[in-house]
Homo-oligomer: A and B are copies of this chain.
Amino acid sequence: MKHSQRRDVTLVEAVNMALTWEMEHDPDVVVLGEDIATNGGVFRATVGLKEKFGFRRVMDTPLAENLIAGTAIGMATQGLKPVAEFQFMGFIYAGMEQIISHAARMRNRTRGRLHCPLVYRAPFGGGIHAPEHHSESTEALFAHIPGLRVVIPSSPQRAYGLLLAAIRNPDPVIFLEPKRIYRALVQSVADNGEALPLDTCFTLREGEDVTLITWGACVMETLEAADELEKQGVSAEVIDVATISPLDRETLLCSVAKTGRAVIIHEACRSGGVGAEIAASIAEAGFLDLQAPVVRVTGYDTVMPYFGNEQAYLPQVGDIMEAVEQVIAL
């Protein structure tokens, strides 16, 4: 029964909508985490699920991220499809051993006998005036781990379609939600259970002169910059990478083949960020297309400051404009 009703929702509401749809249509989907049941999650992403599906499928866990990561793996080996929430990305690190050594490897090390159809959700990124450790963007750590998919939505529609795809995917997915834009925009989303493809970039805006490559909350500043650039007669193509691993290099390379110039924007610190892999790939495979070096607009190589100075850390529209001017100049 595809009750294809449309709703105007924010990104976090779209997450809730996708979870609700999938739990209604697949009894194997369960959710677990800290404060996700009775409280509906500290960002309300799971609100209403316990009431609809009961505490057997919507589980408040004791306070232990390693346990959450590992318990989800055990559940997944039994064919359940757990969607586990880490309350903030800054607290996922305790789960790294389970994620790297087990979730990402179960299928490979058992030659397909067991696998991990699970999703690890976590709000990530800064800019919301949060206490320390609540503003991490360390997606690169997961993008370097074979066996994981790392998916980052940047709009209510993509949050809905990509989360459905992540839950249905038979392998582990790290699903990072840019909390800075959890409620930044409202979109009309058809609640019809239609998933979007993983492993694919989304071209949000076509352009001729330069390719702006980004993901997560930075998509907002990047689109803004593209508008500004247009006024200045510069036509920018904007690509939301969305699945940062495995990377859809083809879409990126085709765009650069067209524009000859690329600027990568991400919030994470510069060194070793996902921007490095993208820049390296473009510079290698697109060597003959590039008319200017691939430039990165990123956070600095330091710890995200406490919120008093967090804006000074985050890439801003002006920074993107400056970078584009730099590559266009060449």
Q: Which residues of A contact B (CB under 8 A)?
A: 66, 90-91, 93-94, 96-97, 100-101, 104-105, 108-109, 132-133, 138, 140-141, 143-147, 245-247, 268-269, 271-277, 279-281, 283-285, 287, 290, 292-296, 300-303
Interchain Cβ contacts under 8 Å between A and B, 7 examples: A108-B303, A144-B273, A146-B271, A146-B300, A272-B274, A275-B280, A284-B294
Best-buried of A97, A132, A276 by chain B (most CB within 10 Å): A276
Tell me which residues across on chain B come within 8 A of A287, comparing CB atoms. 290, 292-293
How many copies of this chain does the complex contain?
Answer: 2
* Contacting pair B277 A105 (CB below 8 A): no
A146-B300, A275-B280, A287-B292 known, 9 other contacts, Cβ within 8 Å: A93-B100, A143-B271, A144-B268, A144-B269, A147-B302, A272-B272, A276-B276, A279-B284, A287-B293
* Contacting pair B284 A295 (CB below 8 A): yes
* Contacting pair A271 B279 (CB below 8 A): no
Within the assembled complex, what's the spacing in Å between the Cα atoms of A144 and B296?
Answer: 15
Tell me which residues across on chain B come within 8 A of A132, comparing CB atoms. 109
For A304, give the chain B residue with the smallest CB separation.
Answer: B146
Tell me which residues across on chain B come within 8 A of A300, comparing CB atoms. 146
Tell me which residues across on chain B come within 8 A of A273, comparing CB atoms. 144
Tell me which residues across on chain B come within 8 A of A295, comparing CB atoms. 284
